[in-house]
A and B are shown apart, each in its own frame.
Chain A
């Protein structure tokens, strides 16, 4: 005799519903940042960056300055190559 009213059948049913619920939850977990409501890639967009990362933060102006200075460093390499001839 089981202690549950309705017997072993009810237990089996409860277990099945529990499992189904878990399964459904697993299935409806978001697979992208947009599905989780945090923006990001959509059907027509490939948007990679959504959240602020912790730690190291750079100002947008610094990014632009960094890029321009990289360009100048390549120009400088060209000048060096012209001056030294054979090294670089």
Chain B
């Protein structure tokens, strides 16, 4: 791609590119060729929303390969498992090329695993469950691998300054908000075992009130399993409210210019210092484990003890989902089904523990290795001739280091507790965590849009003119 540093991209152009690339991404959510999309049973439904993925479509993996590759390489470099000299430009180029390549490779491996695990075979009680011919499997693998490459390119387009913010966050934001609005107000209908039903929970409520006795109408709108119900919507709204509430918490560190007298300001350190990333990381770990676990248990289903990894049962009512019922993966899932009463009691506890521990540990590590620790910010301050009021130049890093780790771990802890509250019982089916991730991504994205707007003449752009008061 040609250099964004050399020819400045206009504010309006950035808006157009952002909208275009996200729209193209969403358009790719069309069924894969040779897959009966409405007849595949989806074992990963509760993990999909934060990764903008859709079952049986070209977005089968969504952003998962890109996100996994990004986290993997940054963590390896952060802990100096691999030696990267980030000060050298060619090393940085190699580093990002490796991330792109890894993303495509991950998609390739997962596509091979899932298609040989029979994931794309139609599930139907009436027709014989014939496995598909080998070269229709080949078409899935080619389509999914190519889609991963295109996703990586779209993310790169936004990352490099043609559009706003990190591409991953932009896509998650738009996709999860689309998902939420569809679940709430979707007018489209599908044919289910109980007749036509609307995608939107609110629309379904109105449809129910027209067609059914009143009590049953309300009950059904809150409890239906196959599509979004009102319980999920309320749980999601609660999670969003908590996200907005805690998103406002911050410590304002007083700063001043080291050169100009009486130039004082504040530097805000947010409580949710790592934003959506701890959540995204935790769910990326879970999603990867589930794909690998599902594929392995299907491919090696004759090997003894393989069911201890995880065992999936087809949902008996609509046969459109596989639910985890037991095994190791069950205990770190938000699955609503269990093999025994003991399973039902233990799972919410182990799931919550897993989410809290992983995301808190991640946030502690991430603020250090991503170049946003107290020491790094002190370095930036020094370059911009900024100091903390009431502290020496040399103490800035130490002083920020007292605030930042506490903020990032506490923030991640609060977010993960909120997620456990809404997801652990398996009521929300991944919608709440997706919407919360989307919200936190949106806050980060909005920040970068506003910075851009104020710094590079956003007022003069056509977009700015549109919203100006006259």
A residues touching B (Cβ–Cβ < 8 Å)?
Answer: 29-36, 38, 40-54, 57-60, 63-64, 66-68, 70-71, 74-75, 77-78, 80-81, 88
Q: Which residue of B lies closest to A55 (CB)?
A: B93
Contact with A along B336-364 (1 / 0, CB 8 A): 00000000000000000000000000000
Of the residues A42, A71, A80, contact of B30 by C-beta under 8 Å: A71
A42 to B276, CA, bound (A): 12
12 new A-B contacts, CB < 8 A, other than A42-B370, A51-B93, are A41-B371, A42-B372, A45-B166, A46-B280, A47-B159, A48-B96, A48-B166, A52-B93, A53-B93, A63-B157, A68-B27, A71-B27
Query: B residues 269-301 with Cβ under 8 Å of A?
Result: 272-277, 280
A66 to B149, CA, bound (A): 11
* Cβ B34 vs Cβ A81 within 8 A: yes
Contacts of B408 in A (CB 8 A): 43
Given the known interface contacts A46-B70, A67-B154, the answer about A88 and B27 at a Cβ–Cβ threshold of 8 Å is: no
B residues touching A (Cβ–Cβ < 8 Å)?
Answer: 1-3, 5, 17, 20-21, 24-25, 27-28, 30-34, 58, 66-67, 69-71, 74, 77-78, 80, 85-87, 89-90, 92-93, 95-97, 99-100, 136, 139, 143, 146-147, 150, 153-157, 159-160, 162, 165-169, 272-277, 280, 366-372, 376, 408, 440, 444, 448
* Cβ A34 vs Cβ B153 within 8 A: no
Contacts of B20 in A (CB 8 A): 64
A19 CB to nearest B CB, Å? 18
Q: Is the interface of A mostly helix, strand, loop or mixed?
A: loop
A38 CB to nearest B CB, Å? 6
B61 CB to nearest A CB, Å? 15
* Cβ B444 vs Cβ A51 within 8 A: no
* Cβ B371 vs Cβ A42 within 8 A: yes
Of all A-B residue pairs in the complex, the 7 with the closest CB atoms, nearest first, are: A44-B275, A34-B371, A35-B371, A77-B33, A36-B86, A43-B372, A47-B166
* Cβ B3 vs Cβ A74 within 8 A: no
* Cβ B96 vs Cβ A50 within 8 A: yes
Contacts of B87 in A (CB 8 A): 29-30, 36
A30 CB to nearest B CB, Å? 5
B159 CB to nearest A CB, Å? 4
* Cβ B96 vs Cβ A88 within 8 A: no
Of the residues A43, A46, A68, A77, contact of B273 by C-beta under 8 Å: A43
A11 CB to nearest B CB, Å? 30
Q: Using a Cβ cutoff of 8 Å, how many contacts connect chains A and B?
A: 182
Q: Which residue of B lies closest to A70 (CB)?
A: B150
A41 to B86, CA, bound (A): 13
A23 CB to nearest B CB, Å? 13
Given the known interface contacts A36-B87, A58-B1, A75-B30, the answer about A44 and B444 at a Cβ–Cβ threshold of 8 Å is: yes
B453 CB to nearest A CB, Å? 18
A78 to B57, CA, bound (A): 12
Of the residues B2, B66, B156, B274, contact of A59 by C-beta under 8 Å: B2
Contacts of B66 in A (CB 8 A): 48
Q: Which residue of B lies closest to A30 (CB)?
A: B86
* Cβ A34 vs Cβ B372 within 8 A: yes
Which one of B78, B86, B167, B276 has the highest number of Cβ atoms from chain A below 10 Å of its Cβ? B86
* Cβ B2 vs Cβ A57 within 8 A: yes
B153 CB to nearest A CB, Å? 5
A62 CB to nearest B CB, Å? 9
Given the known interface contacts A32-B77, A45-B166, A49-B159, the answer about A68 and B24 at a Cβ–Cβ threshold of 8 Å is: yes
Of the residues B1, B86, B90, B150, contact of A38 by C-beta under 8 Å: B86
A50 to B139, CA, bound (A): 33
* Cβ B86 vs Cβ A51 within 8 A: no
A46 to B371, CA, bound (A): 12
* Cβ A46 vs Cβ B71 within 8 A: yes
Contacts of B95 in A (CB 8 A): 33
Given the known interface contacts A51-B93, A59-B1, A67-B150, the answer about A88 and B86 at a Cβ–Cβ threshold of 8 Å is: no
Of the residues A35, A45, A80, contact of B165 by C-beta under 8 Å: A45
* Cβ B1 vs Cβ A43 within 8 A: no
* Cβ B78 vs Cβ A31 within 8 A: yes
Q: Which residue of B lies closest to A53 (CB)?
A: B93
A75 to B66, CA, bound (A): 24
Contacts of A75 in B (CB 8 A): 30
A53 to B372, CA, bound (A): 25
Contacts of B156 in A (CB 8 A): 48-49, 63
Contacts of A88 in B (CB 8 A): 33-34, 136, 139
Contacts of B168 in A (CB 8 A): 46-48
* Cβ B92 vs Cβ A50 within 8 A: yes
A54 to B2, CA, bound (A): 10
* Cβ B97 vs Cβ A53 within 8 A: yes
Q: Which residue of B lies closest to A35 (CB)?
A: B371
B460 CB to nearest A CB, Å? 23
Given the known interface contacts A43-B273, A67-B154, the answer about A60 and B33 at a Cβ–Cβ threshold of 8 Å is: no
13 contacts between A and B (CB under 8 A): A38-B86, A41-B370, A44-B440, A45-B277, A46-B71, A48-B167, A49-B100, A49-B156, A50-B159, A52-B3, A58-B153, A64-B20, A71-B27
